[in-house]
Amino acid sequence: MKNHNYKIIYKPRIFRILLYLIMYGIFGLFGFFFFRSYINIAVLCIMTIFPFASFISLKNVCDNASLSISCSDKHIEKGEKFSLGICLKNQSYLSLLRCEFHVNFVNTYYGFENACDFIIPVRAKQDNRVVYSFLAECLGKQRISLKQAALFDFMGLFEAKIICGLEDEVLILPCKKEEHELNSMGLLSGVSDNEDVTRKGNEFCETGNIREYVPGDRIKDIHWKLSAKKDKLLVKERINTNENQLILTIDSSPSVKINDEILCEAALIMDYCTLEGIILRIYQYDGIKKQLKEFNVSCSQDIYPAFDFIYSCGRTDNNSNMSIHLWEIDQKISAYVSVGYYNGRIGERIYEAV
């Protein structure tokens, strides 16, 4: 492929070649016994040259073509459609029989995986492009990958397998129509609980992330208890807390339908906090990397990357150890709000950090 480091594997299609050789032999014997003329010899010569010419055309197209995939939108709402465009740009003056694409669709949040095969003709000096529409049926990050494609010569005797590994992603967000009325009183009580701790001691900053000690850090910022456990000096980063803050975690559900509703509730909380000027600190446990991660939402532009953050962490049940995790990284967090499926309904709970 032109200007790309794709791996191309050329393979003969044995069955079709055998059929062609049988046809070649039958025609040669038939002509030898019934049509002994120069025309018969000319036809046999053409049939001998055609397979070689067909393979040369296949290689020429592979050397002068490029592949690409692209999605029409980078983020959409659940229930909407997005378009996937697949393009084979052929700069050669030769055409081919067809090109087959093997495309994988993976919802990285839920782990769903589907595969589709697409076929398009390959015309000379054209951008051979097809566009397909797909419905976003559930939330998550939809990763579309074109791992391999196959080009076939015009006689169908040879195949060029292209290992390309192209990818694109679509972020599927909660639909506004699914959002319902939010109980803001519970959220406000969660904010006030953290404000009480800030008032104690007249502090105007609180702990952020934990990192290793570097020369110049204040001694009083050293996290002595965690440093003893890790056998190295760790310090607590300080962040400004003059503004209201809300600590939020998300409890996942094994049910896709219920989990989508939980995420819709989380979207309502994000919208509410951005409108009320509340800094939202989302904590999620990454089950793959085995660590607690944080993402801050301070304005409406942060909501899209916030869901990208939630989807990348995966589904986990946070309540079992979340209090301990939060206390280890920030002892000034007195309470946090968790959204999940409790007592047969979607809602919020306030937990004390211990």
Domains of the chain by range and CATH?
Answer: 1-173 (2.60.40.3880), 176-204+241-352 (no CATH)
Among all chains, which residue has been given the structure tokens 């990348």? 312
| Residues across the chain | 354
pLDDT at 106: 93
pLDDT at 15: 94
pLDDT at 182: 58
* pLDDT score of 249 more than 90: no
Summarize pLDDT for 313-332 with one digit per residue, the tens.
888 665 556 666 676 666 66
Which of the two residues, 207 and 108, has the higher pLDDT score?
108
pLDDT at 197: 42
Among all chains, which residue has been given the structure tokens 């206390």? 327
Q: What is the mean pLDDT of residues 214-229?
A: 76
What pLDDT band is residue 187 in, cutting at 50, 70 and 90? low
Q: What is the mean pLDDT of residues 27-40?
A: 74
Residue-by-residue DSSP string for 193-240:
HHHHHHHGGG--EEEEEEEE--TT--GGGB-HHHHHHHTS-EEEEEEE
Which of the two residues, 167 and 278, has the higher pLDDT score?
167
Residue-by-residue DSSP string for 129-182:
EEEEEEE--S-EEEEEEEEEEEEE-TTS-EEEEEEEEEEEEEEEE--GGG----
Q: What is the mean pLDDT of residues 176-204?
A: 49
Beta-sheet strand order (sheet of 245-250): 291-297, 279-286, 245-250, 335-342, 345-352
pLDDT at 201: 41
Amino acid letter, residue 256: V
Q: Which of these, 4, 97, 2, lies nearest to 58 by C-alpha position?
A: 97
* pLDDT score of 292 more than 50: yes
Q: Which of these, 309, 338, 354, 342, lies nearest to 246 by C-alpha position?
A: 338
Q: What is the mean pLDDT of residues 128-136?
A: 89
Q: What is the mean pLDDT of residues 92-117?
A: 90
* pLDDT score of 104 more than 90: yes
